[in-house]
Structure 1
Amino acid sequence: MTKNLLCFDLDGTLTRRELLPLIANEVGLEHEFEVLTKLTVEGTISFEESLRLRFAILKNIPVDIVQQIICHAELFGKIIEFIRNNSKRCFVITGNLDIWIETLMKNLGCRYFSSKVTASDNRLQSLDYILNKSTAINVLKRDYPQHNIIAFGDGLNDYPMFEAADKSVAIGLTHQPSRVLISKSNYVIYEEEALCRLLNTL
């Protein structure tokens, strides 16, 4: 019997708010991030360019402060409970930075893929690797050749993950998912309860 691996975006899919704007609001950098978010959504700059600029803006914020902000971010509780109960077949695939989200991921208890940084003395030093989400899907296909991979996400940067996955679900729990993403999706879901019902059938 073929089994399903479930791969979740983090921001806006598992969290009730996007994490980078949340961090920016907490440290008084709202305007800078509003501009970057607008340019990224409009496609004026790529996700990679946007992440590099966000890194430059936030690199001097102490790492432990960012970790605390992320750990207090509001999550979709029923989805998180499902992941914890099915941690061996659930994965988080996020462009966020490994050191920022490591405590949150430990609490989830599942494997994850992320962008990578070097940090020293509680500060970010360098942005070493920006995750392309299709890379994570291809690693899972290699490691679990007898499994189908189902991707869940909401933004344009999830499109490579949707292209590489066997099936995909566009999520509209936090905001309207990208039209491009919807065009690539097998399902579009706007309510947490509906998503949980789907997850329990997979």
Structure 2
Amino acid sequence: MIYAFDLDSTLTKKETLPFIAQNMGNAAAYCNICEETANLPYSDALNKRLAVFAAYPPKKIAEILSSVPVFAGLQNFIIENRDNSFIITSNLDIYIKKLRDKFCCKVFSSTIKNGKIQIIDKEKIVKKLQQKDKVCFTGDGENDANALKIADFSVAASYAKKANELAVKAAKFEAFTENDALMYLKSLPK
């Protein structure tokens, strides 16, 4: 069994971009961008939201994200199953360097190439992982819905906040607490 996880509000107790904005002192600017981009396709909205942080050194952002609170039980589960656990996140690799180290597993993330953000396709990653074994994907966002739908087992993460409606509909199970998620994960065939 391969365990794959979204990062924001699945493994972290807070959404990372608002956490960065709050800690950088530009929460108001970030909130304005969120309102302006609310009805845009996910990739367009994410690009505009990330642009708010373009003037800040990536190392500073990585340092801030290293302090975002995480779900300790899920963190321990991933560490115990590190050889077959993966994080699949739209977050930029340069921002999550220190945060990902807390989980001791392989991470698939968005990157910057030739000055442009290359947003990861979670569905493609799950399909790639399914070539090796059955996959359980856990996530909470609209951008997780396709990966949740195609995964062999899937969990809509409604414990940091209510999971997006599309994610809930796509998932085979909805977890309302971290313990719900852990019980489901531990019940899966190895």
Pick the aligned partner of 1:18 from 12, 15, 19. 15
Q: CA deviation at 1:25?
A: 0.8
- What is the root-mean-square deviation in Å for CA atoms of aligned residues? 1.6
Residue 152 of structure 1 aligns to a residue whose secondary structure is strand
Local SS of the residue matching 2:174: strand
Q: Which amino acid aligns with 1:49?
A: D
Residue 104 of structure 2 corresponds to residue 109 of structure 1 = yes
Of 147, 164, 176, the match for 1:178: 164
1:131 aligned to 2:120? yes
1:172-194, Cα deviation, whole Å (9 max, x unpaired): 11111111211111111111122
Contact 2:14 2:160 in 1 (8 A): yes
Q: Give unmatched runs, 5+ long, in structure 1.
A: 119-124
Shift of 1:11: 0.2
3-state SS, counterpart of residue 94 of structure 2: helix
Please report how far the alpha carbon of residue 103 of structure 1 lies from its aligned counterpart in structure 2 after TM superposition: 2.0
Q: Number of paired residues?
A: 188
- How far did 1:34 drift? 2.0
Between the aligned partners of 2:35 and 2:123, the Cα distance in structure 1 is 24
Take 1:38 and 1:190, find their aligned partners in 2: how far apart are those partners?
A: 27
Q: Which residue in the other structure is 2:148 paired with?
A: 162
Q: Distance in 1 between matches of 2:166 and 2:112?
A: 30
Residue 46 (structure 2) pairs with residue 57 (structure 1): no
Instruction: Determine which of 120, 123, 140 is the counterpart of 2:129.
Output: 140
Secondary structure of 1:174's partner?
coil
Q: TM-score, normalised by structure 2?
A: 0.92
Separation in 2, partners of 1:169, 1:29: 33
The answer to whether the 8 Å contact 2:155/2:181 transfers is no
Q: Counterpart of 1:75?
A: 70
**Aligned equivalents of 2:40, 2:185: Cα separation in 1:** 34
Inter-partner Cα distance in structure 1 for 2:110 and 2:6: 13
Task: Give the letter aligned to residue 83 of structure 1.
Answer: I
Contact 1:132/1:160, CA 8 A, preserved across alignment:
no
Which letter maps to 1:64? K
Given that 1:52 and 1:127 are in contact with CA atoms closer than 8 Å, whether structure 2 keeps it comes out as no
| 2-structure distance, mates of 1:63, 1:96 | 12
SS at match of 1:100: coil
* Contact 2:59 2:94 (8 Å CA) reproduced: no
Could you list the runs of 5+ residues in structure 2 that have no partner in the other structure?
A: none
Between the aligned residues of both structures, percent identity stands at 28
The Cα shift of 1:160 comes to 2.0
Cα distance in 2, alignment partners of residues 128 and 11 from structure 1? 18
Q: Which one-letter code corresponds to 2:125 in the other structure?
A: A
